[in-house]
A and B are shown apart, each in its own frame.
Chain A
């Protein structure tokens, strides 16, 4: 299965600023996703990162707040914009070759907004 490198692994940011998280996969993959995991909770899908086109966002997530890029089949970025303390969470990148098998996850980015 693919190996995913995600960075930064953690960051502490000031409110009102933005942070871009990078996700690098060691092989070309069809699908890439971004999840949020708030303390004590499960994983919530933010969006599907589509190569060469706009990401597909889930209900409750918008492009202005979470712009996503996917310039090729091995790389994607998620930006958390105009951050507030409520954005403090773990953000996870995931990738997979087909929807018929489980996806691989990165180790996550632990974001604290102060």
Chain B
């Protein structure tokens, strides 16, 4: 299918390695953050979220880290698989406001 994000920054990792995708968010008052995965030809899919009162949250093979001091969010994917190849977006939200999406990073998993 048609691919979005043709000009996005790309992270290439070997299959089986760990991936770290970074996001700098804009508003120090944002209180809720989400990572989305968007595969080619599909809409964004929720992966994991974290609230501002936490600095780490773990899911299945994924971990999100939040550093409010430097307004930085990261997504760690353990044992990266070919199915993890996609564009990843972070989104931030200030209470009462709509989500704002980051620019996105394309993850390419090499065999």
Contact = CB atoms under 8 A, between A and B. Distances in A.
Given A42-B101, A42-B102, A107 B2 contact: no
Nearest to B1: A110
B23 to A, nearest CB: 11
Contact of A108 (B42, B93, B99, B101): B42
Nearest to B87: A42
Contact of A90 (B4, B45, B89, B103): B4
A45 B98 contact: yes
Interface residues of B, number: 27
Size bin of chain A's contact surface: 20 to 34
A105 B49 contact: no
A59 B34 CA distance: 23
Nearest to B89: A42
B43 A40 contact: no
A70 B49 CA distance: 28
Interface of A: 1, 4, 6, 10, 33, 37, 39-45, 48, 58, 90, 92, 94, 99-108, 110
